Amino acid sequence: MPAPEHEADLALLTEAARAAGVVALQYWKNAPYAWEKEDGLGPVSEADIAINDLLEAHLRGARPDYGWLSEESADDAERLTRRRIFVVDPIDGTRAFLNDEGSFAHALAVVEEGRVVAGVVHLPVMNLTYTAVAGGAALMNGRPIHPSQTAQIPGSTVLTSKLSDDPRHWRDAVPEYHRSFRPSLAYRLCLVAEGRFDATISLRAAWEWDIAAASLIAERAGAIASDRAGEALRFNTPTAQANGLVVAPDALHAAYIRALRPFPA
């Protein structure tokens, strides 16, 4: 059964995510100013920064004792001393956002002692809100969701990048999966949680803000979420990264973990 404080945090995250969506839609399709981050970390826009500021004020204003980890904030190691922290991606899928595509998301989570206890992924253009709380059900717009029952790799539908077609990542031949892609990693996990795709795989290091909220949603739906070696995901780590990501129903997840090389080639 969900703890009352986790339920309260979920309500706070949901309120904040919807407020973020309102701001995002004011910038979307209005050519917001954007630039490339250093070290090849991708684009950022004035909308990302405005939403980050809104979320930090809203969330930390309500929970001043929680730490903070966001893609658009300078990292502060002080978060490592906090029992609970917010893990936030103001716009997950910024390239899609800047290309006037509606598949971007706001991903918000509360992490307690290394595990996610509340998570929200909100797609304002698509009017989709995925939520989960530790000990509770995974919901999409208030309705329970569940992953597929696919157990075998051949023919499975996988949300992943072209990197997964590189044979160096596999113990044997590249599996016979059907590959698709969505720019938002959080949305990919949610699509697996609701059974629209069988799995999602990321063979690059995965930032915590991209996967925290949606990993809980996938797990509470009934999927398994791990790093590429099959190890349990931990959050609020010093690097704020996981060793890749594999999310799928139990049997299919096990099959992919057996097939993958556990560390980057």
Helix axes 4-27, 46-62, angle to 10 degrees: 150
Residue for token digits 């890749």?
Answer: 244
Q: Structural domain boundaries of the chain? A: 4-144, 157-259
Show Cβ contacts of residue 196 under 8 Å, excluding neighbours closer than 6 positions.
none
Return the sign of the alpha-carbon dihedral for residues 193, 94, 24, 55. positive
Of residues 184, 189, 177, 171, the one with CA closest to residue 226: 189
Question: Per-10-residue mean pLDDT for the chain, 265 residues long?
Answer: 93 98 98 89 94 98 98 96 98 97 98 98 98 98 98 98 95 95 97 98 96 98 97 98 97 98 80
Indicate the fold that domain 4-144 takes in CATH: Fructose-1,6-Bisphosphatase; Chain A, domain 1 (3.30.540)
Residue 4 has a pLDDT of 94
Cα gap 194→50, rounded to integer Å: 30
Q: What CATH number labels 157-259?
A: 3.40.190.80
Cα gap 207→187, rounded to integer Å: 14
Of residues 119, 123, 153, the one with CA closest to residue 138: 119
| Tens of pLDDT, residues 55-89 | 999 999 999 999 999 999 999 999 999 999 999 99
Residue 40 has a pLDDT of 73
Q: What does the H/E/C string look like for the chain? A: CCCHHHHHHHHHHHHHHHHHHHHHHHHCCCCCCEEECHHHCCEEEHHHHHHHHHHHHHHHHHCCCCEEEECCCCCCHHHHHCCEEEEEEEEECHHHHHCCCCCCEEEEEEEECCEEEEEEEEECCCCEEEEEECCCCCEECCEECCCCCCCCCCCCEEECCHHHHCHHHECCCCCCCEEECCCCHHHHHHHHHCCCCCEEEECCCEEHHHHHHHHHHHHHHCCEEECCCCCECCCCCCCCEECCEEEECHHHHHHHHHHECCCCC
Residue 258 has a pLDDT of 97
| Tens of pLDDT, residues 149-160 | 999 999 999 999
Show Cβ contacts of residue 171 under 8 Å, excluding neighbours closer than 6 positions.
258, 259, 260, 261
Cβ burial 7-32 (10 Å sphere, 16+ → b, else e):
bbbbebbbebbebbbebbeebbeeeb
